[in-house]
Structure 1
Amino acid sequence: MDPRFIDLLRPYLPVLGDRDITEDAGLRELGLDSMHAIDLLFAIEDTFDVSLPDDDLNDTTFETVGSLWHAVSTALGQKVVA
């Protein structure tokens, strides 16, 4: 995972404390609620200059850190470089 992604997640995970962020960490268990998820989505799109497809805006994508990173990395891979 990109270190920028990990740094970006921290403010949206109020239950994280001083623990490391791992791929299998549950986002909801770390305190990500629906309002934070929307803000996080905007931050991801701004930071990585990508747009996640509407099909990826679901509970499965936002289940774990790894599932969210998978959606972001897929969007990065599909980004057309001019």
Structure 2
Amino acid sequence: MDNGFPGLLKPFLKYAGTQPINPEASLNDLGLDSMRAIELLFAIEDTYGVSMPDELLTDATFATAGSLWATIEALRGPR
């Protein structure tokens, strides 16, 4: 994961507290609800310059920090 990605996630995770966010962290368990997920989506699109298609707006994409980061990386393409 990008070093700045956990910092981007934190404001949307009401139960994250000060614990580090690792790739296996369940975003649902950390407090990501549907409203915050929409706000997070906009932040991701703005920060990383990607546009997430509707077919990727699934529970699986937003399941963990790692699954969400993998989706962002796939959308960004090779660097």
TM normalised by structure 1 equals 0.90
How many residues are aligned here?
Answer: 79
Classify the secondary structure of the residue corresponding to 2:77: helix
Residue 5 of structure 2: aligned partner:
5
Residue 55 of structure 2: aligned partner:
55
Residue 18 of structure 1: aligned partner:
18
Larger gyration radius, structure 1 or structure 2: 1
Runs of 4+ in 1 over 4 A off after TM superposition: none
Q: Which runs of 5+ in 2 are unaligned?
A: none
Aligned-pair identity in percent equals 52
Query: CA RMSD, aligned part only?
Result: 1.4
TM normalised by structure 2 equals 0.94
Classify the secondary structure of the residue corresponding to 1:43: helix
Residue 73 of structure 1: aligned partner:
73
Shift of 1:4: 2.0
